[in-house]
């Protein structure tokens, strides 16, 4: 299930295992209600996308949790790595002027 940029870790180095022939892993995204975006809720195994959606219905929406389901095979997800945290996110830390609270607007001006 893992490639260097996948969402999951590589299988720990200590283990030398033959590749297994299993149902692939799918990541499941659910739109909780109309107007909201799809959110990641978990994963499951299924032989194909049709079964993945059926299984997602059974596993993740038993109590009206959703109005729409997306599934994507986990191996198609590319992910950033924790070691890139600095280069990726630090630049925005110094740009406080991107937030509206950076600017003082006199009270006389009114709501803005």
Partner 1 sequence: MYAQMVKSETADDSAEAVAFQARIDAGEKIEPKDWMPAGYRKTLIRQIGQHAHSEIVGQLPEGNWITRAPTLERKAILLAKVQDEAGHGLYLYCAAETLGVTRDEMTEMLLDGRMKYSSIFNYPTLTWADMGAVGWLVDGAAIMNQVPLQRTSFGPYSRAMIRVCKEESFHQRQGYDIMMKMAQGTPEQKAMAQNALNRFWYPSLMMFGPSDKDSVHSAQSMAWKIKMNTNDELRQKFVDQTVPQAEYLGLTVPDETLTWNEEKGGYDFAEPDWDEFFEVIKGNGPCNTERLAARNKAWDEGKWVRDGLLAHAEKRNARKVAAE
Q: Which of 58, 90, 93, 108 binds partner 1 (CB under 8 A)?
A: 58
Buried b (16+ CB within 10 A) or exposed e, 39-72: eebebbebeeeeebeebbeeebbeeeebeebbbe
The single-letter DSSP state of residue 88 is: H
Q: Which of 36, 67, 78, 79 binds partner 1 (CB under 8 A)?
A: 79
Share in percent of the chain as helix, strand, coil (round to 5): 30, 20, 50
* Contact pattern for partner 1 over residues 18 through 57, marking x by CB under 8 A: --xxxx-x----------------xxxx-xx--x------
Please report, as residue ranges, which positions from 82 to 111 form the binding site for partner 1 (by CB under 8 A).
82
Of 11 and 105, CB closest to partner 1: 11
- 42 bridge partner residues: 28
Of the candidates 7, 52, 79, the residue with the CA atom closest to the CA atom of residue 60: 52
Shortest Å, Cβ 5 to partner 1:
10
Contacting positions for partner 1 (CB under 8 A)? 1-2, 7-12, 14, 20-23, 25, 42-45, 47-48, 51, 58-59, 62-63, 79, 81-82
């Amino acid at each position: 299930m893992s490639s260097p940029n996948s969402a999951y870790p590589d299988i720990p180095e200590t283990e030398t295992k033959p590749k297994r022939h299993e149902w692939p892993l799918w990541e499941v995204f659910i739109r909780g209600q109309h107007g909201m975006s799809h959110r990641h809720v978990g994963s499951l195994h299924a032989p194909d996308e049709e079964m993945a959606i059926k299984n997602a219905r059974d596993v993740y929406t038993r109590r009206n949790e959703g109005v729409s389901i997306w599934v994507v095979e986990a191996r198609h997800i590319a992910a950033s790595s924790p070691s890139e945290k600095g280069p990726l996110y630090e630049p925005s830390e110094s740009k406080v002027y991107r937030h509206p609270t950076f600017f003082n607007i006199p009270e006389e001006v009114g709501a803005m």
